Amino acid sequence: MAEITAAVVKELRERSGAGMMDCKKALAETNGDLDAAVDWLRAKGLAAAQKKSSRTAAEGLVGVAVEGTKGVVVEVNSETDFVAKNEQFQDFVRNVSAIALSTGAKDVEALAAAAYPGGGTVNDKLVANVATIGENQTLRRIAGV
């Protein structure tokens, strides 16, 4: 088994956004392989997101994006108001609003399937946020103005 140093754990945390103990466990499970550990964390995050999906998400933020005469309003919910104050969650809402405006998405399904900056879809990023932040989050509704 490869030795797991603090530097390797730190690098995995920076790449994945996961907690220190989760990173350490992922590295132990994958014998110190960083790429395999990222995949392991992603799979664990999907499972965690699945478990949390039944929780009620009634708090959150409304994002607004305007360009010229077009505008869009997007509601993204979380379980608690503490998550709504989280910078990562706020950035996500801001980005999703801009994506909704640029793609012209008319409903939540179309928005969830839209490409997200850095790779993947909006839904992929939402699931990653659930795994990282630890609370259920949902794209609630979208409206064009």
In the numeric block, which tokens belong to residue 22? 């989760």
Asked which of 52, 71, 90 is the last residue of a domain, the reply is 52
In the numeric block, which tokens belong to residue 78? 């979380």
Quote the pTM value: 0.67
64 and 124 share one domain: yes
Q: Is residue 68 part of a domain?
A: yes
Q: Round to whole Å and give the CA distance between 116 and 139.
A: 14
> In the structure, what pLDDT confidence band is assigned to residue 53 with cuts at 50, 70 and 90?
low
Extended strands (E) in 11-90 = 59-67, 70-78
Average pLDDT over residues 7-17: 79
Percent of the chain with pLDDT strictly greater than 90: 42
Q: How does pLDDT run across 113-139, given as a tens digit for each residue?
A: 999 998 899 998 998 888 788 788 899
CA nearest neighbour of 30 among 8, 10, 15, 7: 8
Q: Which pLDDT score is estimated for 105?
A: 93
Output the domain CATH number for residue 18: 1.10.8.10
Q: Which pLDDT score is estimated for 142?
A: 97
Q: How does pLDDT run across 63-107, given as a tens digit for each residue?
A: 999 999 999 999 999 988 888 999 999 999 999 999 999 999 999
Number of domains in the chain: 2
Contact 16, 35 (CB under 8 A): no
Average pLDDT, the chain: 85
Asked which of 52, 69, 84 is the last residue of a domain, the reply is 52
66 and 136 share one domain: yes
37 and 72 share one domain: no
SS3 label, residue 1? coil
The yes-or-no verdict on residue 28 having pLDDT over 60 is: yes
